[in-house]
Amino acid sequence: MAGNVAASERTWLPLFGSWIIVLVSTLGALFIGEVMGQTPCDLCWHQRVFMFPLTIVLGIATLRSDGGAWLYALPVAAIGWLIAGFHNLLYFGVVPTDIKPCGQGASCSGEDMTLFGTLPIPLLSLAAFTLVIALLLVVRRRTMQ
């Protein structure tokens, strides 16, 4: 019993941190889409498909101090990271292709789709998934001890 309490204390903070990241990302995406009226491109939609459920999953895991959450949250975050990574490769022109990362709706490459006029939204998504994966790996390491 004492081992479970100690493990839950060691995993709560990284779980909470990962939940805050996905919550802010989700609210930001909803603000951009619903308040600013910017329609996300296909790749942005796919990233949302993997970000939005993490808000609920990691929120419940944090409330329960569930150190095993990394088992089911990490694959979701990793798939979102892969999509965000591909989106950034297209955005920055690393992958030359005829596919436009923002072929439908508002363009993620436009001036209005940056934070403070310099930080592209696809890069923010990649950063969010990267931080969540890092925190979930901390949870994994702390539960395996």
Phi, psi angles (nearest 5°) of residue 88: -70, -35
pLDDT at 47 over 90: yes
Calpha distance 57→122 (Å, rounded): 23
DSSP 111: G
Please list, in sequence order, all residues whose beta carbon lies within 8 angstroms of the beta carbon of residue 132, skipping any fewer than 6 positions away: 18, 21, 22, 54, 58, 73, 77
What pLDDT does 17 receive? 97
pLDDT at 3 over 60: no
Range 41-68 average pLDDT: 94
User: Tokens representing 60?
Assistant: 């419940």
Compute the Cα dihedral for 125, 87, 57, 130 and give only its sign. Answer: negative
Helix orientation angle between 69-91 and 121-143, rounded to the nearest 10 degrees: 150
